[in-house]
Every structure is written in structure tokens, then in C-alpha cells.
Amino acid sequence: MIRLKLVLVIFSLFSSVAYGFGDYPYYDVHETAVDGKKNDLRMLHNGLASLALRIDMIRRAEKEIVMEYFIWERDLTGKILLLELMRKSRQMQKANKPFKVKIIVDKSITIFEVNEYYAEVLNKYGIEIAYHNRALDPLTAQFRDHRKLIAMDGVEAITGGRNIGDDYFDMDKEYNFLDRDVWVKGPMARTMRDSFMGYWNHKRMVKEATPFIVEEFSPLVRSQRRRNTLKLEIHERKRKEAREFFKVTEEVKLASPKIMKVGMEILKKFPVYNCPKMTFASDLPGSRGASLLFEDYDKYRLLRKVIFNKMYAVKKSLFIESPYWILNKPYGQTIKDLLANGKEVTALTNSLNSTDAYYVSALFYDQVFNYEKLGLRPFIYNADFLDNNPVAEKKVKDVRWGLHAKTQIYDDDSIMIGTYNIDNRSDHFNNEMAIFCDGSKEIVQDLRNNIKERMTQAYEITDDMQATDGKGNSVDVFGGAPKEAIKSMRNWKIPARLFEPLM
């Protein structure tokens, strides 16, 4: 943490001190045998099923839909979901029934797509959008809302690894993620919804439904007129583009029914379980550059406390699935302590060939061999399509696939599914959330079975620059990555080490 502060202090600008919160709604525990609160869960291992269930929730909603995402892409999936929200909102308006739709989107400059021009169109349908952290100083800009949530009427909710985009729902023609979500039904869904409202009402959210032009004033009248005319032309062009985006195309007409038919059929294969003890944990809104340096910054980082407590409490084994694997000092020491005490620690993450971030691979391969020598069992995904993962289009089977699920298993009766990666961003900067379920060996076994299927396409790292497949054959430690990818990763090695605290 000291190193992190030293690296980041040069970026810091003074700002107001954020205020604190109580535990609820960012931490809640329901134990049926103790408080009588019953929560069901369903693990969503397949992208189409997870997308179909989201659409189904929108269509069944009677009072409210709230959605919160780090990424909302302007592709087919992003468009279909927005059109479903618009259609539902208009239906409720015509029926004269009160209905609310609220969306939070993180305003990270590198990935932000659904801007104020799209919000302007959505607002005409009664849909409100808030943008998280449109920060100006470079340090505060690192603090992103990485939470992922849809909640219906405070009765059902989904969280997990999936953002909104074709690549998260097994529909992209170039690259797809093997991801995982968890659906929750019961009083914990209300807690999750209330945590959304805590973010929605926070002063860090910017609610703008109308884009505006900043006109220039200059003594050079002709120059000023030209610049303002150009700005107006760009402004109107962006407005037109936003309106065009929401037109129902033939692609949408063909895709939506197919998604629902195939996705809902797949969904039937995923059982609904009662969770004996369910915990919801989320980081608190409000952290910024100044809070890292001048406040009790740890008060915002609630989820990692819960995760570290769970890891240190394991009696026999810990399994971690994460798309990114960058062990900072606390995480690295935790893994070392568990291994030194005879605990089994297994990791499943991306190879260079399956990753979407070469700079992460540069750090992963820099660390992993040392931990393997200490007893860690690291497995890397090889980027191939998983045969038992049903898809709507055959074309996507031939593209590159990578892991994106954020999952942990503690011994034989406890799991975590959420948004938290094993890296410094999730540990220090990003707001994260997760569902924990304790006391069900049946749920753990179901999850293990799905992970076991994914690991049929994984290689185990067994020594320095060595790996084997499931049959014990020697394979490429980079997962079969092309030479260009290896070269790119090596070029990233020094920059990645320098900026590791930000990754």
C-alpha cells in the first residue's frame, strides 16, 4: 500500500472529503435457519441464457428496473436491451401504471459509449441515466464503477462478470468471454437494489439527459462564427446518430426471438437452489484520489475484507477463477500463507492466447512460476471454444475465447460469484460487488462441475515455462499464442512493471 501511495501521489489533486456509510445496503447476511429469510439462486454459466433471463426480467417487471454496468456497448446486445427497456416503459405509460427505469453507466474515457445523446432519446421514454465519475484529475479518474447489476422490482437480481456487449453473451464474431453470473430471488435482491440506489443518489453521479454545446466568444467574429457553426453541425450529427441507433432493424427482429428461444431453453438446464446462508457485499461509493491519500480509505473497500476473511478461513482448499491474475503484496502473502499451512490453492485464468489484455499477461507470466514452486496449481485457458457451451450462431465457435468469470470456492460448502478480479484495480480502485453462499455442498458441486468442464480446455503450468494438457502432454505455456502476441506481451513487460499499481 505504501508503494501504491508513492506511485500515485504525483497525480493527486486536493478535493472534498467523501462521507461515510453504514453497513446496509453494502453488506447484508441472510441465514434462513436464524432469521427465516429465504433466498434462491441460480448460476448462469451460459451467455445466451443470462441474456435471455435479463430480457425476461424486463418483460415481467411491474414497478421498476434498475441496471448498473461498467461497460455498455453500442452493439446488437446493447441495442436489444435498450429497446426492451424502451418498449416496457412505453407499455407501462400507456397502461397508466407507474414504472421506473434507472441506469448507471461508468464514464471511463477508454470504454464509454452510451453518452448524453443516447440518454436524451431514452429520457423521452422515461428512462433515466446516471454517469459515474466523470473525473478531471488523473488519480480520481482511476476510481471506476465496476459493479454489474440488474434488479427487477426489488425481488429478483443478477450480478456477476458480464457487462453489456455481444462478447459477454457468446455473440461476438471475433472474441467471446466464458463468464458467469448469479441470479438471486428473495429479500437479498432488495438489498442489491438498495445498494444501487445508494450509488444513484451519491454526489459522484452525473445525471444529464440533454447534451449541450459550449459556444466560444472571440474578438475574431468570423473565426468564432465558424467554430460555433462547426460545433452545431457535430452536435446535430451526433443527435441524428443516436436516433438512428434506436431504430428496430431486421437484425434486431431476427436476433431477439432467437435469443429468447435458445437462451430460455438453456436456462432450464441450470437448477434453482435455496442458499442456506447468503451474503451480499459491495464496496462503498465515494472513493477518490484524496480519499486514498488523506482519508481512512479502507472504509470504502468492504468487499476485499470479506474475501480475505473467507480465504484465511479455509480449512482444506481454495479455488479461484479470474480473467486477470496480478498478485499484489497482500494477496501474494495470503496465497503463500495458505500454501505454507498445507492448504490446496488452485487458480484458473487466461493464457496469453486467451486474454484480452497483453499487459496483464506480462505481469502474470512474471509471477506465476514462483508461486507454482511454492505449491500453487495454476491452470490457463487455451482460447478454444467449449463444446458444451451452447451458442445461437455456429460462427462464434471458430473465434477466440477467453475467461471472464470471477468466482471463488472455499472448501466444499462455500462460493463467491461477483465482479471482483485478482488485480490491483479490483483491490484498490474499482467498486465491486459479490454474492456469497454458504452451507450448500450441492451448489458447490454444481459449480465445480461447470469449472471442471472449462478446465478440459485448460493447461496446467508445471515448471518454469512449462505446461501440460489434461493428458499430461507437454504444451505451449502461452496457450498456443501467435508470435505477434508473444512479441506484444514482451514489449509490455517494462511498462507493465512500472504501472503495476494501476493494473
Residues 432 and 474 in one domain: yes
End position of a domain, from candidates 201, 235, 267:
267
* Axis crossing angle, helix 329-340 with helix 358-374, rounded to the nearest 10: 30
Residue 210 lies in a domain: yes
In the block, residue with C-alpha cell 495454476:
378
Residues 118 and 249 in one domain: yes
- C-alpha cell at position 309: 476473511
In the block, residue with C-alpha cell 440506489:
197
End position of a domain, from candidates 267, 293, 325:
267
Residues 116 and 222 in one domain: yes
Per-residue CA distances from 85 to 77, 154, 189, 470 (Å): 13, 17, 20, 45
| Domain span including residue 199 | 37-267
Cβ(386)–Cβ(457) below 8 Å: yes
**In this structure, what CATH number is given to the domain that contains residue 282?**
3.30.870.10
Residues 438 and 293 in one domain: yes
End position of a domain, from candidates 248, 267, 286:
267
- Say how far apart CA 59 and CA 4 lie, in whole Å: 46
Per residue, the 3-state secondary structure of 123-160, as one string, reads: HCCCEEEEEECCCCCCCHHHCCECCCEEEECCCEEEEE
Residues 310 and 216 in one domain: no
Residue 25 lies in a domain: no
Residue 29 lies in a domain: no
Residues 453 and 333 in one domain: yes
User: Residue 67: which of 104, 108, 115, 111 has the closest Cα?
Assistant: 104
Tally the domains of the chain: 2
Cα dihedral sign for 35, 36, 37, 42?
Answer: positive
Output the tens digit of pLDDT for each of the chain's 503 residues.
444 443 333 333 223 233 333 589 999 999 999 999 999 999 999 999 999 999 999 999 999 999 999 999 999 999 999 999 999 999 999 999 999 999 999 988 767 788 899 999 999 999 999 998 776 677 777 889 999 999 999 999 999 999 999 999 999 999 999 999 999 999 999 999 999 999 999 988 888 767 766 554 454 555 666 677 788 888 889 999 999 999 999 999 999 999 999 999 999 999 999 999 999 999 999 877 666 666 677 888 999 999 999 999 999 999 999 999 999 999 999 999 999 999 999 999 999 999 999 999 999 999 999 999 999 999 999 999 998 888 988 899 999 999 999 999 999 999 999 999 999 999 988 999 999 999 999 999 999 999 999 999 999 999 999 999 999 999 999 999 999 999 999 999 999 999 888 88
pTM exceeding the 0.85 threshold for the entire prediction? yes
Residues 428 and 498 in one domain: yes
- Please state the φ and ψ torsions of residue 355, each to the nearest 5 degrees: -75, 160
Residues 394 and 366 in one domain: yes
